[in-house]
Every structure is written in structure tokens, then in C-alpha cells.
Structure 1
């Protein structure tokens, strides 16, 4: 289904023509659509590759961030990540950079029962331990991740009202209280930026890969840690937290981020019902703690 933010429809014919133009040795491999999110369309190329195309101008720089930084970060990380194996450039047929990345056998975590995710919560903790290290000054800037949350949240109030969410007053009051926690006082750390369960692949009860680094940035790790509520139940959160030595203020900010992101994920429930479901789960979990 086409979502309302899409600016370019990345069809099979377009993918085939771009491959033929720029990577002809891949052009005759079978193509199958693997999904379209808010920012990118994915096409599986043969058995082992995936082509990743921005679908709107605002998301186009995210692919270049992955191309620049994933080769640097991947050797530090304990699970597979989609380091580009080929790079596509803008052309007459398509205006932005694009990538060919490995295909990982696995199921996005949101397709798995929540209790089953607890088994690999320690693996995700190890991923964060490896990633959350001081970032260089030229790490990508991202005004929506790793930054302080405004306790007033005027934009979020408008979204909650527009969505007509149950428990709207509780959501906003709890988020306001949590976001007032003391700010991050350490160096800006590397962040994935969007580690919700649709970007975590599981296989045979383990964390197979972490994908979609388009929001990669640096700053307060609390925005990454929001996945404790978006992905897990209470037991899974406990397993995640026991391996991460962040203070209570960081976890309070993370819980505020969970409520914030959970609302944002519900903005297009018809076009992206799986994201809306992740958001509903996140609100339930964050309000229960």
C-alpha cells in the first residue's frame, strides 16, 4: 500500500533499469518487493541482496549517512548490520543515492510474540554497549534523535489530540514528568536512531541483525533505549537493563522517548498498521511501569 508521504513509486521496472544502468551484473537477478516504509522502498535482488531506495526527498540524506558510516561502525558491532555492498548514484531515472545491502534471513521482531523476544534482549544490550561510544564531531546531525525532549511537547499534544488516543491525558502527563529528568551530561554517543522492533531481525531465538541505520546520529542514548518499552515486556526490559549501566535519569528519559515515539508511530495507522501496533504496545508498556 502506498503511504501518503511517498513521492516516488519505486517499481520493479525502475529497479531493473537502475541496476542495468549502474550494476549490470545484478540486473538479471530475480526481483521481489520486500516492503515500503516511511522513508525507503526495499527490493530483494536474487537470494542474497536487497536494494534500498529513498521514496521522499527528506529521507534521501539518510541513505548517504548509512553509506558513509556503516563501514566504520560495523566492525565494532556484535551482530550483522546492512553495510552497503554497492552504491547507486542519482540519474535521469531516479534523483537520489541508493544502496544494495545484504539480505539477512530473519523475521522483523514485531512479527514475533513479545515474550519470545526476551531471549535475545541481552544480545541487544551487547549491541548497545558496542555502539554507544563517543562519536566524532562529524557524526550525522539529527534533530529528532538523541536530543533533549521538551517536557511541554506542544507538537506531541497536537498529535495525541488528532489521533484521539485512549489515555491521552495519562500519556502526556507521564511523558512530561519523565522528560523533566536531568539531562544527559556525557559526551555525544553513537546512536542507531530508530531501533524499534521492525528494525530488529530475529532468527532461531536470537537477534540476527539490526537494520535501517538511516537515523544514525550522536547524542543522548536515551532515544535508543526507548526500545525497552517498544520491543519488550517487563521481563525483556529487565534482561536488557541488567547489562546496561545507565543511571536512573537516563532510563527515565528513555521511557519519555518511548511514549513520544509510540505516539509518532501511530501517525499513519492505515498505511503502516505494524508501526501503529508497535506504538500501542509501547504506550501500554510505558504506562505500566
Structure 2
């Protein structure tokens, strides 16, 4: 237990003069006292993919340490994971000014799902996997900091959303110019095929999927409810684009009941080898032909 009241503000250096722990980084296991001091700074943390906050489950979700590459269960992360076995308490602080923190209270790692992974950018802007700890208050706390935009659930979430809310998973290409061009071509392609289906009397939506235990939503491009066809669009007919579309379709299909048919929507007819690749994977290929759409 610390001799600090929840909500009280002090300089971080003064706290660590008393209780120890590293003066750098967010996780500070102490050799001076039986504590692990945790410092949260959402304002700066967002820049390197740290999205700490309160969940609707009553836990504070705290990002592990490691600013580049996938985080691993070592060093400070290991100290949080094993704090009970090592006889240490977790104490959480929120940054309120330069060098000044406010004490939120004492916490313990949740016994049900103590941690999980989520995707987040690292210090270089590359997507990586970070560790999110679920820590529960052990007594009186002051709720400071932010609320999570979405708290991970134990079950999958699958919803129909409007196609106009166009969000996509970015295609990995060799340059930003290619990426922008592919995205620019994809949106009108999706709109044109939606209009084509609706003119035939079909009901068309898209699926928003949040897998159990995750916070990031997946969005399909089109879902033909009438014929139960899941469609993934790409703004390029390159092999990389087609392979990514097939992978996304297989990922999305797992969450949709009944199991839908699959189709890849492209801006032009691809080479026959890629049509064969799609067909061999159980997906048809769709492309515009000037007056409508062809199916291969």
C-alpha cells in the first residue's frame, strides 16, 4: 500500500524516491518496495500505439511495454503478469502535466482473461501486436484517463452496416502512390456493383465483424443478402491484390451464418491464371464490361 490517496497529484520523481522503480517507461517494477508502478499517458501513448483506458467490464486496459515490433511477455510485461506470485501490488498513475501524475489506486491483474493481444502502430508507424493487460481495482480508486472506444467481448460481433460507411483494410502495395490509386478505384467500383445489384431487386449491405477478444472491426465490401454472396473488392488486378482478396474472404466467411458464397470484384478482367486461382479457392470473379458486369 502506498501512502498516497487516490486522486492525489505528485511529481513522478518524488513518488519514485519513496517507492523505487525505473524513472523511464510506463512500467516500473521496484526493488525498493513490493510494488509495480504503472504510469499511463494517453496523450503521448497514442503516438506509439498505446491506447490505455477504462473498459465497460470495470477493468483498466493497460498497454504493455515495447515501442517497436511485436511486444513480448518479458521485462515489465512479465512483472505485471507475475505480480501476485512475486508478492507485488500494482499501482496506477495517470499523467496530468509534465512530470506530474495523479494516483488512481491499487489494482490486480484480472484472473479471467488477464491479457490479450491487439493490433496497433509502433513508433515507426508499422502495424504490430501489443499486449493489453486487464487490471481490476482492489479497493477505492479515482477513475482518471480515457474510456476505451470498444471493450473486447467474449463473443463475436457481426452487424449489417451501410455501404456508404466505406472503410477498408488497406492493401499492401509497393508504394503510397499505388495504394492511393487502388483505394481511389475501389470505392466507385463497389458503388457501381451495389447499384447493379439493387437494380435487379437485390438487398445489399456490408458486414461489420469484431472477433471475440478484439477491438478492431473488420469490414466487408459488399454482402448480397438476396443471393448470400460475400464480395471483396480490389482496385487492382495484380496478383497481390487478388491473393489478398481471397484471404480476406476466407477470414470474413468464418463469422457469417449460413456460410455464404464468395466473389472477388475487380476493375477489369484479370489474367486467366488469376481467375483459375479464385475459382480453385471457391470464389467467382466479377468485373465491369461497359454495360454491366461479367462473372468468371
TM over 0.5: no
The structure whose residues are more often strand, as a share, is: 2
Normalising by structure 1, what TM-score?
Answer: 0.28
The structure showing larger relative contact order (alpha-carbon pairs under 8 Å, at least 6 residues apart) is 1
The structure whose residues are more often helix, as a share, is: 1
User: Rg larger in 1 or in 2?
Assistant: 2
